[in-house]
Structure 1
Amino acid sequence: MTAAAGRTAAAGTTAAAAGTTEAAGTSAAAGQLARMTRQMQVQARVPALAAAVFRADRPLWTCTVGGTGNDTALDEQTRFRIGSVTKTFTAVLTMQCRDDGLLDLDDPLDRHLDLPAHGELTVRRLLSHTAGLQREPYGDVWDTLRAPDAEQLIAELARAERVLPSGRRYHYSNLGMALLGRLVEQVRGGTWAQVLTEKVLTPLGLMATTVTPGPRAATGFLVDAYSDEAHPEPPTDFGAVGPAAQLWSTAPDMARWAAFLADPAALDATGRVLAPTTLEEMRWPVTVTDESVWSGGFGLGLILVPQGERVVHVGHDGAMPGFLAGVYGRRGGEGTPAALGAAVLGSSGTAAQLLELPHRLLAAAVEHDPADIDPWLPGEPAPENVRGLLGRWWGEGFEYVFSWHDGTLRARGAGDPAGRPPAVFAPVADRPDVYRTVSGREVGELLRLTRDSDGVVVRMHWATYRFTRHQESFDRYDFRA
């Protein structure tokens, strides 16, 4: 979009203004999602609002409300500025580099970049916003709306402050993410935009996600707090800070991206973009964002929003002049389908309410149209060497149940709530009767079996704790006596 187009077309002046479109919306659940979206557009006073829900078991759902504010029609292919959602892409690119052996998360930046200052900050600290680096590049970027180019970003780095000791606490930094973008460029040998297109956008089919708005972009507005005036915001290019906030996209693309962040195996079965275990690493909380209210956390480039009942929404929000975006996938909880993601994009920079909508859409999708329940079917019997250890065991005075399901050995506390995942074990190669805990309680620890002369498992050691068939004290007093 040109600057002239952005300034001459006010919200509500086009033929497309105040319109509503929906796709794949015939069910009662889809109608509920559409009503929530239309209500938000009115309540938050957003000139153009686009929402989408992606899930592996249903057609894509989309809804658009309002008008673009220019001479293009608002529909599901309209592009919006997604702001800091861009950071999730830069984080994935960084983790790709780690998985490909090009860097380590604990590497200092100056191992790969020639920097005049702050080179001792590590990749991990920058990804989790715990490096203590000031929020923006040196200068008043938001006054001038002129972002530095790559040369200026690095040259002025010595003038940027370390506002907190590294590792002390969460402190959000666009500058830190910009430096990670430079790191990706250095180790990959291409521009950030080129690497992003080749390594992420093309493999996942996110072809409407671009570094420039293109011809079908909505105009961004500031909506006056005390009247219905919507003033167009100036277009901006964030130059070398682009890896933190540059991208434009559509609601369908972003809903698919959210689903990938939550459940990569469902969308990238071969791990072409990123291994599911790497996304799991990114989703693990590194820090909370508020020390007194633990309502949100941060992993490696991802915002984590707990929902209760062992459900978490993972993704990011974005804000740029004239635009807001919320992009989140849902993990856990009864009824949650595979690869469930939601995106809400709006053409107002002040409609903070709309950032609640992706979370509400995800919850409503599960409530009104939960995943289908697959019937239980009999499976193969447990291997002969495992059968003897199935059943109840006692460790540390507590009772556990070891079982064989879906081809794996598992363990649960006898009193565990139904929603708590079990510990899952995998055999250790070339070590008979030794298993590694691959998920759940005591992940990473060994389970060792001890058999008597007849081959019967008589005790086990899990994470070095002794497990026996009957409750015993630590001095081996048997409570059957």
Structure 2
Amino acid sequence: MSVPTDRLDRMVRRVQADARIPAVSAALHRADRPLWTCTVGDTGTDRPLDPGTQFRIGSVTKTFTAVLTMQCRDDGLLDLDDPVGRHLELPAHGELTVRRLLSHTAGLQREPYGDVWDTLSPPDADQLLADLARAERVLPPARRFHYSNLGMALLGQLVGRLRGGTWAEVLDDRVLAPLGLTATTVTPGPTAATGFLVDAYSDEAHPEPPTDFAAVGPAAQLWSTAGDMARWAAFLADPAAVDPAGAVLAAATLDEMRWPVTVTDETLWTGGFGLGLILVPQGERVVHVGHDGAMPGFLAGVYGRRGGEGTPGAMGAAVLVSSGTAAEALDLPHRLLAAAVEHDPADIEPWRPGPPAPAGLRGVLGRWWGEGYEYVFTWHDGSLRARGAGDPPGRPPAVFAPVPDQPDVFRTVSGREVGELLRLTRDEHGAVVRMHWATYRFTRNQETFERYDFRAGE
């Protein structure tokens, strides 16, 4: 990596020392540089700490369950607006939809029935489903964000039922193996670190008991390395670069998962939730997408970076720590991503001339007026595009694609008015004299909304 690695190393070492963390493992993945890793501390076992050390990643597991659920949707096994009871036999709450469970807006209570954090004995699959009759709906569906491990556990059961296996089997077959995440496992391997509770008033570190989350595993079970998790974060942010064939999930489906469904705080819009993914805006049209994780003795932060000047492709960071109380570590992946872009931005690709616009569209290029505002239509990278004449440089343009078998009709595929049609109207000589975008009239000169006589106009 071109950025001096001691800058990133120092950031990790500072957090390890200040937050008093027994072991930290961090990694940064990007398409244009080798993988960067840094480890500080001791595993708490006879094995030394290195990039191959596994840590519990807790709720980062939810992002995997969300991807498995979206695979089922893409394969036609479910619809996001299906009630979950259509696919699982449930004694209660079967009317809650898959979409609401994915976005934590179903209103279901946070944990399975019972004091699982006292007993550390989560239910098996049969007990999880049977106990739903005792679980509360603490809020009406769609009322607001309310985090629920129970909801994600139900989705894990759903995925296994639809695929004819266990959640763990489906995960390995359909995500871990295709992406080469060989160090990510359901149970800890021989390289696993010990998790600790660091005493608040002394330097003593108390080992936490290992836990198997049983049927709640789809919400928090996995173990992994920082390198694997940085690659996973890069996939969530830029799947076309990490999985160009779409073997795991189509890039368009990840776009759907990253779209905000709800904010996590009604007054501080500093974080949102998509479909199984946490979204953290960074300003300047940059967003970090991923998830945090917490289990007894462990914390994890796994995020990919999208947008902004200098952001390379497939950029993701992971910070895994063996302390359950070192909250300072959860901000570190965001800081590593920002520092890497600031001090080692992606190379600037030179502009090169390209082919001209198709003959039939050359008359569309240039300035048009709609709704009293001026827009500029251009041809770049093989597609027709439009942006407001006063738009800031970083705002993405609208991009259009031809509608098959409908000459002079285009579909907006991204940007402003996505999904809407653009229709061209030509005169008797074939020149484009008028356009309608999302039914609004666009003309070469600024016009009022007065009634237009189309017969006279033609």
TM-score class normalised by the smaller sequence: over 0.9
Within 1, Cα distance between the matches of 2:331 and 2:3? 22
Within 1, Cα distance between the matches of 2:410 and 2:217? 46
Hey, what does 1:109 align to over in structure 2?
84
1:131 aligns with 2:106: yes
1:237 aligns with 2:182: no
Taking the TM superposition and a 5 Å limit, the aligned residue runs for 1:46-195 are 46-195=21-170
1:184 partner letter: V
SS in 2 for 1:388: helix
2:186 partner letter: V
Runs of 5+ consecutive residues of structure 2 not aligned to the other structure: 453-458
SS in 1 for 2:319: strand
Within 1, Cα distance between the matches of 2:435 and 2:451? 14
Deviations 1:385-430 (A, max 9, x none): 1101100000000000000000000000000000000000000000
Match 2:350 to one of 338, 359, 375: 375
Q: Which consecutive segments of 4 or more residues in structure 1 shift more than 3 A?
A: none
Hey, what does 1:463 align to over in structure 2?
438
Q: 1:476 offset after TM fit, Å?
A: 6.8
Within 1, Cα distance between the matches of 2:47 and 2:145? 41
SS in 1 for 2:247: coil
- Whether the 8 Å CA contact 1:209–1:249 is kept in 2: the answer is yes
Q: 1:28 offset after TM fit, Å?
A: 4.1
Match 2:303 to one of 317, 328, 335: 328
Hey, what does 2:391 align to over in structure 1?
416
Within 1, Cα distance between the matches of 2:4 and 2:306? 20
1:196 aligns with 2:168: no
Deviations 1:287-332 (A, max 9, x none): 0000010000000000000000000000000000000000000000
Within 1, Cα distance between the matches of 2:3 and 2:413? 40
SS in 2 for 1:222: strand
- Whether the 8 Å CA contact 2:3–2:340 is kept in 1: the answer is no
1:317 aligns with 2:292: yes
Match 1:224 to one of 194, 199, 205: 199
Within 2, Cα distance between the matches of 1:270 and 1:322? 38
Runs of 5+ consecutive residues of structure 1 not aligned to the other structure: 1-24
Within 1, Cα distance between the matches of 2:209 and 2:85? 36
Match 1:265 to one of 228, 240, 244: 240
1:442 aligns with 2:417: yes
Q: How many residues align?
A: 452
1:337 aligns with 2:318: no
SS in 1 for 2:47: coil
1:43 aligns with 2:23: no
Q: 1:32 offset after TM fit, Å?
A: 1.0
Match 1:291 to one of 266, 272, 281: 266
Q: 1:139 offset after TM fit, Å?
A: 0.2
1:365 aligns with 2:340: yes
1:256 aligns with 2:227: no
Q: 1:29 offset after TM fit, Å?
A: 3.3
Deviations 1:42-78 (A, max 9, x none): 1111100000000000000000000001101100000
Hey, what does 1:393 align to over in structure 2?
368
Within 1, Cα distance between the matches of 2:103 and 2:73? 15
Within 1, Cα distance between the matches of 2:364 and 2:108? 52
Within 1, Cα distance between the matches of 2:3 and 2:212? 42
1:269 partner letter: P
Hey, what does 1:32 align to over in structure 2?
7
2:66 partner letter: A
- Whether the 8 Å CA contact 1:48–1:346 is kept in 2: the answer is yes
Within 1, Cα distance between the matches of 2:5 and 2:250? 32
- Whether the 8 Å CA contact 2:367–2:376 is kept in 1: the answer is yes
1:65 partner letter: V
Within 1, Cα distance between the matches of 2:4 and 2:92? 54
SS in 1 for 2:4: helix
Within 2, Cα distance between the matches of 1:241 and 1:334? 40
Within 2, Cα distance between the matches of 1:169 and 1:155? 26
Within 2, Cα distance between the matches of 1:41 and 1:298? 29
Within 1, Cα distance between the matches of 2:291 and 2:304? 10
Within 2, Cα distance between the matches of 1:457 and 1:28? 51
Q: 1:226 offset after TM fit, Å?
A: 1.1
- Whether the 8 Å CA contact 1:29–1:365 is kept in 2: the answer is no
Question: Does the C-alpha gap of structure 1 residues 28 and 423 become closer, same or farther in structure 2, counting only changes over 3 Å?
Answer: closer
- Whether the 8 Å CA contact 1:134–1:160 is kept in 2: the answer is yes
Deviations 1:265-305 (A, max 9, x none): 00111111000000000000000000010000000000000
Which TM-score applies when normalising by structure 1?
A: 0.93
Hey, what does 1:10 align to over in structure 2?
none
Hey, what does 2:456 align to over in structure 1?
none
SS in 2 for 1:225: coil
SS in 2 for 1:110: helix
- Whether the 8 Å CA contact 1:219–1:347 is kept in 2: the answer is yes
1:77 partner letter: G
